């Protein structure tokens, strides 16, 4: 892009000093365009500042606003433009404003290059921005007033309405020096994409100055002079477009992330609701059974000829159901209350061997053979060992239950661990049981969805909640030729410590 | 229970099934429990006046689906719903589909027993009515085509003279047919004949509409 700018510059050189007479009439339009572009740019930068809070942005925004506010004064005092309206200012006034505009903008760019880009603490950015805008307006008004009142003591920049004096040549030289220094600083620091764009603007401003002041020898309304103006406009327009595109992209991203956040919250909420409903259901079942048995016992007792044997049976059922309810409450407590927040390095192979050892007797009774295949490279995970143990125990118990009814094949339960490429550990629990019907792969994680009568386990719903709380995933797939596989993936501990 | 009856229980929780059987047995009901709707459908069930106690949220398909399934199959058994987590729409759906009662676990024993008794009584009533209609149909089947032709005319209150004119028969013949109809339907007055004719007509209609649903 810089190359294109230079090419355009070279193309202008031969005609630079040719004056286009009568082209003053376009000047107000040009001034209005620059004014609008710079004000919008300033507004965007101010709003960007109020979000990102970087002092550098505030400085850049102030620079654009200051430059924009000097344009009305400059165009109103331009020799011969508004004489019909009775505005006839000193020829030096226009040049003084132009000089001020050039130098202050360059200084703002320089300050931008030096100012910290990161967010600064302190007062709210909205208040700071408002005060900055007020100060700039006041300063611009004061300067214009001073220039209007003290026209005689203004420096002599112009020989006549068209041609500049030697004094003028200091202004572009100074501005260009500041610009080049700023560019050097910006290119070296390169803090954000905006820096590159500012560099490009500064570069095009340098070209504009070259055209305006040297190639056209400062002759107003010449081809070179107009070329410089067009450059300036193009540069301002480019930055504005980039800023607009950036802002729109930022807002789109913001809207997307807000929507995603809402979805996530919704999901969490539904999971919590489902979880509490599931807990209520788990406890309600034994309670209902206890109450019904107690009612039945009373009826057996108060009959005309009481049946003590039936009362005995009712009471025994009540006791066993009471224990069942207690087991559920204990299970919930280990899952969610006591030490649920404790996180430590968990040795998965140890957890798995513990679980298989404690399930060995049950497996034996059910005629299930358990095989464990642990990858020696299995990394540790960070989590709650009690909860993870519960999850694996649940999966193992489910697998054993799923195989109790089959008789045409071996009842095999195999547990494997595997290290995945993306820094995760996968645990698979594979059975040769009845398997899941197609379409049930997700439903098994819903509350109340049970495939075993009187399911004592906390349910797959709890398992998934725990695994997801560990930043992992729990899903199922079909085993070949028959049965189901449950997969648990958990982030490995090394990944966590590296982050 | 003086008369024979049976209560079917469909619930996937074994201990709930056992507790219900215990409670119903203490009131003298015979029970039969199943862990799934499929087991209930495929079982050899005694043909007795009865009632079904059904858990709404069964594994596989829900109790509400099962209730609709029963209606489709033409199994008209009064149903008492029990659920651990019922809500208003669920109970409305169940009641609309003809449930006797919708009880939340844990329920009061008297509520359940009342509902079961109501269900059994209702089934007994249905069965008695069905038997009567079947009997009536058999008698109707024994009539000659001419008698069947005459019956609605007699039932509509037309005099023998009018019927004779309409069908171009002699009055004596109409009188003889009329006596035959009364005898075959085992009715002893015109009022009874009208009722029987009415019953045959409406039961025939409900029978047809039930077929249409199936």
**Which one-letter DSSP state was computed for residue A378?**
P
A324 CA: distance to closest CA in chain B (Å): 10
The pLDDT of residue B72 is above 70: yes
Query: Average pLDDT for residues A75-103, to the nearest whole number?
Result: 79
**Domain B142-213 CATH class label:** mainly alpha
Contact of B43 with chain A, judged by CB distance below 8 Å, is answered with: no
Nearest to B19 among A317, A451, A453 (CB): A317
Q: What does each C-alpha distance from A151 to A84, A148, A154, A156, A170 come to in angstroms?
A: 20, 6, 6, 11, 20
| pLDDT tier at A494, thresholds 50, 70, 90 | low
| pLDDT tier at A446, thresholds 50, 70, 90 | low
Residue ranges of the domains in chain A?
A: 2-261, 339-499
Going by C-alpha positions, the residue among A319, A322, A278, A318 that lies closest to residue A296 is A318
**Which one-letter DSSP state was computed for residue B52?**
E
**Which one-letter DSSP state was computed for residue A1?**
-
Q: Which residue has the higher pLDDT, A281 or B212?
A: A281
CB atoms within 10 A of CB B27: 17
Model pLDDT for residues A167-176, shown as the tens digit of each residue: 777 888 888 8
Q: Which residue has the higher pLDDT, A310 or A336?
A: A310
The pLDDT of residue A218 is above 70: no
Q: What was the pLDDT predicted at A337?
A: 56
The pLDDT of residue B63 is above 90: no
Question: Which residues on chain A are in Cβ contact (under 8 Å) with B109?
Answer: 291-292, 295-296, 299
Provide the β-strand partners of residue B33: B9
Question: Which residues on chain A are in Cβ contact (under 8 Å) with B55?
Answer: none
Contact of A284 with chain B, judged by CB distance below 8 Å, is answered with: yes
- Of B20-24, B63-67, B101-105, the least confident: B63-67
Maximal C-alpha separation, chain B: 74
The pLDDT of residue A373 is above 60: yes
Nearest to A451 among B57, B59, B108 (CB): B59
- Whether the ω angle into residue A198 lies within 30 degrees of 0, i.e. cis, is no
The pLDDT of residue B210 is above 50: no
Range picked from A9-18, A46-55, A392-401, B108-117 for highest mean pLDDT: B108-117
Contact between A419 and A378 under an 8 Å Cβ cutoff? The reply is: yes
ipTM of the complex: 0.73
| pLDDT tier at A16, thresholds 50, 70, 90 | low
Residue ranges of the domains in chain B?
A: 6-127, 142-213
Q: Which residues contact B174 (CB under 8 A, 6 or more apart)?
A: B150, B160, B163, B164, B167
| pLDDT tier at A201, thresholds 50, 70, 90 | confident
Query: Average pLDDT for residues A334-343, to the nearest whole number?
Result: 61
The pLDDT of residue B211 is above 50: no
Superfamily of domain B6-127: Response regulator (3.40.50.2300)
CB atoms within 10 A of CB A15: 15
Q: What was the pLDDT predicted at B213?
A: 35
Question: Which residues on chain B are in Cβ contact (under 8 Å) with A454?
Answer: 12-15
- Of A169-183, A284-298, B111-125, the least confident: A169-183
Contact of A287 with chain B, judged by CB distance below 8 Å, is answered with: yes
Determine the residue of chain A that is closest to B56 in CA distance: A448
Model pLDDT for residues B152-183, shown as the tens digit of each residue: 888 888 888 999 998 888 999 999 999 999 88
Query: Average pLDDT for residues B107-119, to the nearest whole number?
Result: 92
What is the CATH topology of the domain spanning A2-261?
Rhopdopsin 7-helix transmembrane proteins (1.20.1070)
Q: What is the C-alpha end-to-end distance of chain B, expressed in Å? A: 34
| pLDDT tier at A212, thresholds 50, 70, 90 | confident
Interchain CB distance below 8 Å, A453 and B12: yes
Contact of A430 with chain B, judged by CB distance below 8 Å, is answered with: no
The pLDDT of residue B86 is above 80: no
**Which one-letter DSSP state was computed for residue A213?**
I
Nearest to B26 among A290, A296, A320 (CB): A296
Q: What does each C-alpha distance from A171 to A97, A202, A235 come to in angstroms?
A: 11, 16, 20
Determine the residue of chain B that is closest to A281 in CA distance: B84
Q: What was the pLDDT predicted at A88?
A: 65
Q: What is the DSSP string of A323-338?
A: HHHHHHHHHHIIIIIT
Determine the residue of chain A that is closest to B34 in CA distance: A453
Interchain CB distance below 8 Å, A285 and B109: no
Contact of A405 with chain B, judged by CB distance below 8 Å, is answered with: no
Q: Which residue has the higher pLDDT, B113 or A460?
A: B113
A366 CA: distance to closest CA in chain B (Å): 19
Model pLDDT for residues B190-207, shown as the tens digit of each residue: 888 888 888 888 765 544
Q: What was the pLDDT predicted at B8?
A: 95
Cα B11 from Cα A328, distance rounded (Å): 20
The pLDDT of residue A341 is above 70: no
Query: A89-92 — which CB contacts under 8 Å span 24+ positions?
Result: A89/A148, A89/A151, A90/A151, A90/A152, A90/A154, A91/A158, A91/A160, A91/A161, A92/A151, A92/A154, A92/A155, A92/A156, A92/A157, A92/A158
Interchain CB distance below 8 Å, A310 and B26: yes
How many CB contacts within 8 angstroms connect chain A with chain B? 90
Q: How far from the centroid of its chain's Cα atoms is residue A292's Cα?
A: 55
Determine the residue of chain A that is closest to B57 in CA distance: A448
Question: At residue B163, what are phi and psi to the nearest 5 degrees?
Answer: -60, -45
Interchain CB distance below 8 Å, A285 and B22: no
Interchain CB distance below 8 Å, A314 and B107: no
Cα A384 from Cα A464, distance rounded (Å): 14
Contact of B114 with chain A, judged by CB distance below 8 Å, is answered with: no
Q: Which CATH number fits domain A339-499: 3.90.740.10, 3.40.47.10, 3.40.50.12280, 3.30.565.10?
A: 3.30.565.10
User: Whole-number mean pLDDT of chain A?
Assistant: 81
Interchain CB distance below 8 Å, A293 and B23: yes
Query: Average pLDDT for residues B58-81, to the nearest whole number?
Result: 79
- Whether the ω angle into residue B106 lies within 30 degrees of 0, i.e. cis, is yes
């Amino acid at each position: 892009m810089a190359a294109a700018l230079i090419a355009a510059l070279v193309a202008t050189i031969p005609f630079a000093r040719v004056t286009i007479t009568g082209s003053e009439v376009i000047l107000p339009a040009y001034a209005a365009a620059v004014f609008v572009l710079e004000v919008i740019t300033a507004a965007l930068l101010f709003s960007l500042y109020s979000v990102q809070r970087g002092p550098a942005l505030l400085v850049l925004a102030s620079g654009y606003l200051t430059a924009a506010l000097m344009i009305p004064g400059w165009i109103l005092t331009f020799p011969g433009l508004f004489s019909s309206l009775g505005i006839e200012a000193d020829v030096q006034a226009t040049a003084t404003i132009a000089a001020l505009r050039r130098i202050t903008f360059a200084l703002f760019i320089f300050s931008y290059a030096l100012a910290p880009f990161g967010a600064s603490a302190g007062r709210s950015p909205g208040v700071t921005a408002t005060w900055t805008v007020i100060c700039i307006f006041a300063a611009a008004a004061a300067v214009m007033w001073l220039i209007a009142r003290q026209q005689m003591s203004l420096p002599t920049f112009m020989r006549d309405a068209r041609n500049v004096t030697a004094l003028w040549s200091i202004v572009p030289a100074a501005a260009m020096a500041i610009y080049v220094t700023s560019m050097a600083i910006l290119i070296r620091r390169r803090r954000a994409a905006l820096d590159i764009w500012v560099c490009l603007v500064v570069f095009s401003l340098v070209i504009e100055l070259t055209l305006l002041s040297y190639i056209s020898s400062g002759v107003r309304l010449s081809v070179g002079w107009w070329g410089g103006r067009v450059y300036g406009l193009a540069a301002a327009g480019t930055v504005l477009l980039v800023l607009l595109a950036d802002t729109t992209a930022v807002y789109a991203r913001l809207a997307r992330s807000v929507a995603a956040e809402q979805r996530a919250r919704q999901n969490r909420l539904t999971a919590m609701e489902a979880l509490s409903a599931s807990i209520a259901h788990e406890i309600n079942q034994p309670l209902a059974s206890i109450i019904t048995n107690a009612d039945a016992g009373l009826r057996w007792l108060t009959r005309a000829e009481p049946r003590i044997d039936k009362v005995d049976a009712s009471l025994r059922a009540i006791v066993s159901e009471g224990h069942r309810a207690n087991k559920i409450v204990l299970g919930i407590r280990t899952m969610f209350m006591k030490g649920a927040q404790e996180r430590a390095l968990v040795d998965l192979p140890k957890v798995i061997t513990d679980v298989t050892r404690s399930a060995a007797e049950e497996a034996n009774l059910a005629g299930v053979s358990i095989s464990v295949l642990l990858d020696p490279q299995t990394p540790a995970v960070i989590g709650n060992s009690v909860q993870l143990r519960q999850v694996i125990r649940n999966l193992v118990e489910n697998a054993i239950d799923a195989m109790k009814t089959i008789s045409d094949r071996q009842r095999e339960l195999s547990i494997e661990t595997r290290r995945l490429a993306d820094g995760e550990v996968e645990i698979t629990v594979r059975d040769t049981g009845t398997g899941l019907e197609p379409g049930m792969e997700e439903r098994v994680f819903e509350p109340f969805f049970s495939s075993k009568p009187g399911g004592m386990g906390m349910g797959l719903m709890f398992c998934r909640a725990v695994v997801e709380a560990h930043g992992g995933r729990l899903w199922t797939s079909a085993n070949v030729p028959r049965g189901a596989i449950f997969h648990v993936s958990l982030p490995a501990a090394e990944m966590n410590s590296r982050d | 229970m003086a008369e024979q009856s049976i209560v079917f229980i469909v619930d996937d929780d074994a201990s709930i099934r056992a507790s219900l059987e215990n409670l119903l047995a203490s009131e003298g009901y015979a029970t039969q429990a199943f862990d799934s709707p499929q087991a209930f459908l495929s079982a050899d069930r005694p043909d007795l006046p009865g009632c079904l106690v059904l858990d709404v949220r069964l594994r596989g398909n829900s109790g509400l689906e099962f209730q609709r399934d029963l209606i489709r199959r033409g199994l008209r058994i009064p149903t008492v719903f029990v659920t651990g987590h019922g809500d208003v729409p669920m109970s409305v759906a169940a009641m609309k589909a003809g449930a006797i009662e919708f009880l939340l676990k844990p329920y009061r024993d008297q509520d359940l027993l009342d509902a079961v008794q109501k269900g059994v009584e209702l089934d007994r009533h249905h069965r008695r009515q069905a038997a009567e209609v079947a009997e009536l149909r058999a008698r109707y089947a024994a009539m000659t085509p001419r008698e069947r032709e005459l019956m609605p005319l007699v039932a509509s209150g037309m005099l023998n003279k009018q019927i004779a004119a309409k069908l171009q028969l002699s009055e004596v013949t109409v009188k003889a047919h009329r006596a035959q109809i009364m005898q075959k339907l085992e009715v002893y007055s015109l009022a009874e004949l009208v009722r029987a004719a009415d019953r045959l007509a409406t039961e025939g209609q409900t029978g047809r509409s039930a077929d249409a649903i199936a």
